[in-house]
Structure 1
Amino acid sequence: MQLHDVQPRPGAKKRRKRIGCGESSGHGKTSCKGHKGQKARAGAGIRPGFEGGQMPLHRRLPKKGFSNVQFRDVYEVVNVGALNAFEDGTVVNEAFLREHNIVNRNCDAIKILGNGELTRKLTVEVKNVSASAREKIEKAGGTIAA
């Protein structure tokens, strides 16, 4: 077998449908869109799930079950490495973090995680601190006051 003998498998390559190229093409005149109507118009089409004005299936079916999503606690995460930006002896609490734009989203609580290294001696006043973050803060000479 030579390189010029290589061909795709039969049926693998198919010519595209040439719509609107005359009556003899088999796809001329209305270009496979039928006569008039919403789906025959340019740029038209109905969104998925639309049932022509009839009450859609997802609204006809009863709502069942309960989701706790709206009641969950939203945590804002701050890594230990981000606290290196502050001077030694700084008291780090929620108000301080918001003032310095480290935390700016609306949240229920802030949690300090242990990603990164800490070289500053800080006093951290946040409720939630991971074990690795607690270890790094105390190793740097800082304290955690919950």
Structure 2
Amino acid sequence: MNLSNLQPAEGSVRNNKRLGRGTGSGRGGTSTRGHKGQKSRSGYSKKSGFEGGQMPLQRRVPKFGFKNINRIEYKGINIDVLADLNEKDSSSTIMDAAYFVKAGLVSKNTKIKILGRGEITTALEVHAHAFSKSAVEAIEKVGGKAVTL
């Protein structure tokens, strides 16, 4: 095989319909557009959401709520999850964003908040973007450190 004899797989390429090339082609005359009317003309395009003059759905349904542009989304990780991770891999006592990414809990640019559900028995140094009060208490009670990024 070389560049001179490459061709697409059998059946993967079809010829375009050749419209408006005379009556002998079978698609001359109206070029498959039917007779007259707005839709048969060139340049026709229907407005998206147009319902023939009926009040469109987008205007019938009321508006509600708002999107706070300053909201910060955190991925919550509970203390019991930290304890499980520490049981599986007790070699590192520092848990930071890279550690959570490697463990598959969060993706690279996710902000992390440590939450207080569960109990922890070993002293860990936990680095995260935010902590709940109960999480900080639980971590510091066993001699660990809660470091806010």
Task: Using structure 2 for the length normalisation, give the TM-score.
Answer: 0.51
Q: Which residue is 2:58 aligned to?
A: 59
Q: Which residue is 1:143 aligned to?
A: 145
Q: Which residue is 1:133 aligned to?
A: 135
The answer as to 2:93 corresponding to 1:90 is: yes
Q: Which residue is 2:114 aligned to?
A: 112
Deviation at 1:121, TM superposition (A): 1.3
Indicate the RMSD between aligned Cα atoms, in angstroms: 3.3
Deviation at 1:74, TM superposition (A): 1.3
Deviation at 1:75, TM superposition (A): 1.1
SS at match of 1:112: strand
The answer as to 2:126 corresponding to 1:101 is: no
Aligned residues: 96
Q: Which residue is 1:75 aligned to?
A: 74
Query: Percent identity over the alignment?
Result: 32
Q: Distance in 2 between matches of 1:125 and 1:73?
A: 18
Q: Distance in 2 between matches of 1:60 and 1:113?
A: 42
The answer as to 2:124 corresponding to 1:122 is: yes
Task: Using structure 1 for the length normalisation, give the TM-score.
Answer: 0.52
